[in-house]
Amino acid sequence: MKLAYFVLPHVGGTYSVFKHLRAGLAVYGIDVRWFGTCRHGYELPAAMREEGLLGLLLEMPASLTEGACAKRMAEVIESEGFDGVVINVLGDRLQTNIARYLPEHILRILVVHSITPGTYAAARSIRDFAHATIGVSERCRTDLVERHGFPADRTYAIPNAVDTAAFREQEGRRVRAGPELRTLFVGRIEDTSKGVLWLREILDGLPETVSLTVVGDGPDMPKLKRRLAGHADRVRYTGTMPLALIPLAMAEHDVLIMPSRFEGFGLTLIEAMAGGCVPVVSHIRGVTDTIVENGKNGMLFPVGDYTVAANAVTRLHQDRDLLERMSFSARAIVPERYSIERMADRYYDVISSAMIGWPKLSPVLDIDSWSIPPGLRPGLRTYIPLPIKNWLRVVRERL
């Protein structure tokens, strides 16, 4: 069996999921290939060019309409012999909407990575054209079933995985923390979802012997650097880090700070735990609280409550025995719950169930009449000022 996984190679969570799924499903004889679309002239980042051997880059001339691009994409899926597709909802509008137009014999699996209203609206617009839907957390699945009409028997919660072997190789590098506590932020430097601008308030509440390493890049990096200028002597920026170096970064730090406003899952969270880096993270119902057992393998704080976050980090700084116990507990649960093998087993069960049962879906649409459903168009939420949006997200999670 051959599956197209819609994604372009990049340093980020979605592509990591592809790599892990490809490795895990190969055991079952399923060949998973990345499938990406781009405009003519696009080149893979230099660091990712070797990944080209694992997938297919479909260039689209700038002169083509979106409908013409969709038609070409569907033709290539057929000609390349793909039996099914894995669609990351809202990863790309073209690739999301193609679910409504692919031939009936092509297996269509949706993956929902986020808990935002926009993501759910997009998923709802193609719901009736999918053989199975996977939410990356129990929160995703519950919301889809209870609020958006997804069939309970074809909607699943499958957490993402980490390469536990890569983290085991770094265990010897972890040393008992000295006078300094080494904290870490890893992710896209973007405040709306990741809450990165709260890092200043968290550092304001921490002893001077607590340092921070910021790994990643994004649109809010200049703003973050300005806000952290007062702590310049204890903040280090590495920029985007190759995936292969993430296990080492986790092993070299004591505490991960993750002040997100919302997350569908939080791959960085389980990467930190796999490396023994104790997580201090926002309490996002049905997401982080299904991974972190507060006070045992990490600490949770209310979204946006930087005082509680700082107090949690300070407690770990002051009580190194507690830090060690939490580090051990964090490392212990990851191989059991979040291994590549476990994730692949569950995906295989979903694929097998869909292939055997082959649920009846809405009739596929005529690709020559390509259109964009409302859920994939900008909605009223687009016009809500960002500060109000952010405030509403905090209120929603705290309630």
The pLDDT tens digits of the residues spanning 107-146 come to 999 999 999 999 999 999 999 999 999 999 999 999 999 9
Could you count the other beta carbons within 10 Å of the beta carbon of residue 168? 15
Q: Tell me whether the CATH fold assigned to 2-161+339-381 matches the one assigned to 164-337.
A: yes
Can you say whether residue 331 is alpha, beta or left, with left for phi > 0 and alpha for psi between -120 and 50 degrees?
A: alpha
Could you count the other beta carbons within 10 Å of the beta carbon of residue 228? 19
Q: At what angle do helices 267-274 and 13-26 cross, to 10 degrees?
A: 70
User: Residue 357: CB partners within 8 Å, gap ≥ 6?
Assistant: none
How many helices and strands in the chain, by DSSP H and E? Answer: 15, 13
Closest CA to 187 of 117, 95, 256: 256
Q: Residue 208 in contact with residue 230, Cβ under 8 Å? A: no
Beta-carbon-side half-sphere exposure of residue 65 (alpha carbons within 13 Å): 9
Q: What's residue 288's pLDDT? A: 97
Q: Report the first-to-last Cα separation within the chain, whole angstroms.
A: 45
Beta strands in the chain (DSSP E): 2-6, 31-39, 55-60, 84-88, 107-112, 132-135, 155-157, 181-186, 210-215, 235-239, 255-258, 278-282, 299-301
Q: How far apart are alpha carbons 153 and 147 in whole angstroms? A: 15
Q: What's residue 383's pLDDT? A: 66
Beta-carbon-side half-sphere exposure of residue 69 (alpha carbons within 13 Å): 22
Q: What's residue 380's pLDDT? A: 64
Beta-carbon-side half-sphere exposure of residue 174 (alpha carbons within 13 Å): 24
Q: How far apart are alpha carbons 199 and 202 in whole angstroms? A: 5
Q: How far apart are alpha carbons 136 and 112 in whole angstroms? A: 6
User: DSSP assignment, residue 362?
Assistant: P
Closest CA to 264 of 143, 132, 392, 386: 143
Q: How far apart are alpha carbons 346 and 334 in whole angstroms? A: 16
Q: Residue 382 in contact with residue 118, Cβ under 8 Å? A: no
Q: What's residue 377's pLDDT? A: 87
Kindly report the CATH number that applies to the domain delimited by 164-337.
3.40.50.2000
Residue appearing with tokens 């000609």: 79
Give the three-class secondary structure for 64: coil
Q: What's residue 176's pLDDT? A: 67
Q: How far apart are alpha carbons 392 and 384 in whole angstroms? A: 11
Residue type, 304: G
**DSSP bridge partners of 195:** none
Q: What's residue 391's pLDDT? A: 76
Residues of the chain with pLDDT under 70: 175-177, 379-383
Closest CA to 299 of 285, 316, 286, 287: 316
> Tokens representing 4?
């197209």
Q: How far apart are alpha carbons 117 and 383 in whole angstroms? A: 14
Q: What are phi and psi of 87, to 5 degrees?
A: -105, 115
Q: What's residue 177's pLDDT? A: 60
**DSSP bridge partners of 134:** 111, 156
Q: How far apart are alpha carbons 214 and 185 in whole angstroms? A: 5
Residue appearing with tokens 């929603």: 396
Kindly report the CATH number that applies to the domain delimited by 2-161+339-381.
3.40.50.2000
Q: What are phi and psi of 38, to 5 degrees?
A: -155, 165
Q: What's residue 381's pLDDT? A: 66
Q: How far apart are alpha carbons 330 and 2 in whole angstroms? A: 35
Give the residue extent of every domain in the chain.
2-161+339-381, 164-337
> Tokens representing 235?
């903040």
